[in-house]
Every structure is written in C-alpha cells, then in structure tokens.
A = this chain, B = another copy of it.
Amino acid sequence: MSDTIADRFDRIRVPSAYEMVAEAIEAEIVSGRLRPGDEIGTEAALVRQFGVNRSTVREGIRVLEQGGLVRREAGRKLYVCEPRYDALSSRISRALVLQDVTFRELFDAALILEVGAVEGAVAHADAEVIAALEANQSRIEQAIGNPVLLSEIDTEFHALVAHASRNRVLELAREPAALLFFPSSEMICRRVPEGGPRMVEAHRRIIDAIKARDLELARLWMRRHLVDWRKGFVRAGREIDAPVERIFARYALSRSAL
C-alpha cells in the first residue's frame, strides 16, 4: 500500500553510539580545539568521558583512524595527526580501479592535472623546490636502463612539480591519478628502450622552463612528456581503452601502506 504513495519523508537515521563517539572527537579536531600532535587520551579515559563501553569506543577510533584524523603511534598512544593524504589517495585510487576506469581516462586527466601543476610551478617554484628537482634529475640520469628506478624517480619528479606549485588543492587532486598512472611507466620503459632517454630529456626541459619562468615552454614539454608516455603505452602493445588492471591497485595500496 505505502509503496504506491510517493514517499514524503526520508528514512530516519538513528546514529549509533560508536558513530557519535567518532563525531564528537572529529568535531573537536575540525573546530581546532584539538590540534595535530595533541594526544586524544587512552581508551579507558574515553570510556569514562563518553560513558560507553570500550568496544564502542574502539569502533569509533577505527572510524577516525581510517578517516586519517587520528593515528596510533606504533600500537601506543592516540594522537591527532597532521592530515595525511596518502591513505586517502590510495583509497580513491582503489575506487577508481574498482570502477574499471580506462587508461585513456587516466591519461586525459593526468594531462590536465600535470600541465596545471607545471603552470603553478612556473609561477611559484622557489629555490628549495628547484634544488630538489635538480637532485631528482641527477638521480634519474644515473638510472637510465633501470625501469624500476626510472619509474620511481619519475613519479617523484611529478610529485615535486606539483609541490612546487604551492597549491595543496591541486597537489592532492592529482595524487590518486598519479598513483595509478606513473607505476605503469615501469612497464613501458621495460618494453620501449628509448623511453628512458626521452623521459630524462623531457624532465630536463621542464626543470629549465620552470627556472626560466617560461610558461609556454613548460606546458609544451609537460604535454610532450605525457604524450610520449601514451605513445610508449601503445607501442608496448597495451590497449589505451582497456580498464586499469587491478594489479596496479594492489601495487598502489601496498606502497602507501608502508
């Protein structure tokens, strides 16, 4: 009977105790009354304050831990943590993989995000970041011929460029895609031998463009660098419209768990 009438009201959600525990602590953190580094207190203390059972407190703590708001230092005290992205990014990467996003989507998004990041880097890079980029460059020049190292250093390069933009929103926005995108360059370098040198040259040009504050040149070489990746991907015999395999998700996850 009632299913023939349009529902006027939403279902009422009664929050459970462990959710209220989590929300109470979260409110303290979001409002700033608890600051990163502060300790939350022992489980027993929380039991006293909230007047609920320890199991309930513990479930609430799990929620906060997963949300990246608190952190347990090596099985010991609970601290409010300075917001860490890694855990969140890897969770998003996992969601992307589960949705079977394609490499084309990944590539199109990376093009937008990485070019955006290098634009920001041209505008805001300071000496410190540029030094880090140069250090990265000298390492990658040593690593030609070693696909595993190449891919790792390349991933770090792009993270550094994003960091140079001094835009934490952008830095975060690109991370889930990067986590899935760059590991595959290992596979490419393995199968396309000229991939390594081309990558090293592109990085060199990008760093130079950032140092020269040359927006157009930076854009150009970042774009070229990524298009190279796509070419290599195809030449390595991969289908660009195929979904990102779930293998990569596992890889991204296991790395971030460390």
Residues of A within 8 A of B (CB): 10-11, 18, 29-32, 36, 55, 58-59, 62-63, 65-69, 74, 83-85, 88, 91-92, 94-99, 101, 105-106, 108-110, 112-113, 116, 119-120, 166-170, 172-174, 176-177, 246, 249-250, 253, 258
Contacts and interface: CB of A to CB of B under 8 A. Distances in A.
A69 B66 CA distance: 12
A163 to B, nearest CB: 13
A105 B83 CA distance: 17
A108 B177 contact: no
Contact of A173 (B55, B67, B109, B250): B109
Given A62-B62, A173-B173, A167 B98 contact: no
The majority secondary structure among interface residues of chain A is helix
A145 to B, nearest CB: 27
A101 B63 CA distance: 24
Nearest to A10: B258
25 contacts: A10-B258, A30-B94, A30-B246, A36-B98, A55-B55, A66-B66, A67-B91, A67-B94, A68-B95, A83-B98, A83-B99, A88-B91, A92-B172, A99-B168, A105-B166, A105-B167, A105-B169, A108-B120, A108-B167, A109-B167, A109-B169, A110-B169, A112-B112, A112-B113, A112-B116
